[in-house]
A = this chain, B = another copy of it.
Amino acid sequence: MASAIAIADAEGIDAVSIRRVAAELGARAMSLYTHIERKEDLFDLMADEVNAEILVEGELPGDWREAISAIVRRTREVLRRHPWLVDLVSRRPQVGPNGLRHGEQSLAALSRLRIEPEWKWRIIAAVDDYALGFVIREGMRQEGSRGYAWTQAERDALMRPYLREFIDSGEFPNLAPLLADGAPDVEGGDRADDDFERGLRWMLDGIARDLAL
């Protein structure tokens, strides 16, 4: 199903249609249904294949914070490489083999900690929540709507007069200064890295303090 992934990488998940994938393979549409039962199954296969990329190779760092940071950074990288994955991740739990392996690896990152397994899971959930939210909002920022390929400048030009109206209305005393010089929504690439690391550190700090780790 590499063809399906290639299509999604290039044109987004909506471009992945049964007919399209079949054409890419030189087959007819209905032939795909010998391998899958519903289109959703195709998506599941795609997701699990890419979930394999999330697995961190080699030894995990011994320090638990470094270990889950490594995993979560890798998750972000993969989600940037395959932005359509967030559409699938947000639709259903990832319980394919590689999804489970990812869960296992996340737990392994905390294996040294002497706390109950439930708590390990809660830590992972909180960090994953943050990371998922960040990556979603990051992706949405950099491409606007997936599929509509406006450049940053074009969208900026369209948006500015619209935003100006609101700024001038005086209804947004706190927001206006931030909107004035380039929307804060659109920050450069390395800024995003800093933001990601900072939020992650905040979350981990809060966890460490609370659980005295």
Query: Which residues of B are found within 8 Å of A128, using beta-carbon distances?
Result: 133, 137
Closest to A120 in B: B174
**23 sample A-B contacts, Cβ–Cβ < 8 Å, listed by A number:** A89-B140, A90-B140, A93-B141, A93-B144, A93-B185, A97-B166, A100-B172, A104-B171, A104-B173, A104-B174, A104-B175, A107-B175, A108-B174, A117-B178, A118-B178, A121-B184, A126-B199, A130-B199, A131-B133, A132-B136, A203-B206, A205-B205, A209-B209
Enumerate A73-109 residues with CB–CB distance to B below 8 Å: 86-87, 89-93, 95, 97, 100-101, 103-104, 107-108
A146 within 8 A of B: yes
Query: Which residues of B are found within 8 Å of A175, using beta-carbon distances?
Result: 100, 103-104, 107
The interface residues of chain A, by DSSP majority, are classed as helix
Closest to A209 in B: B205
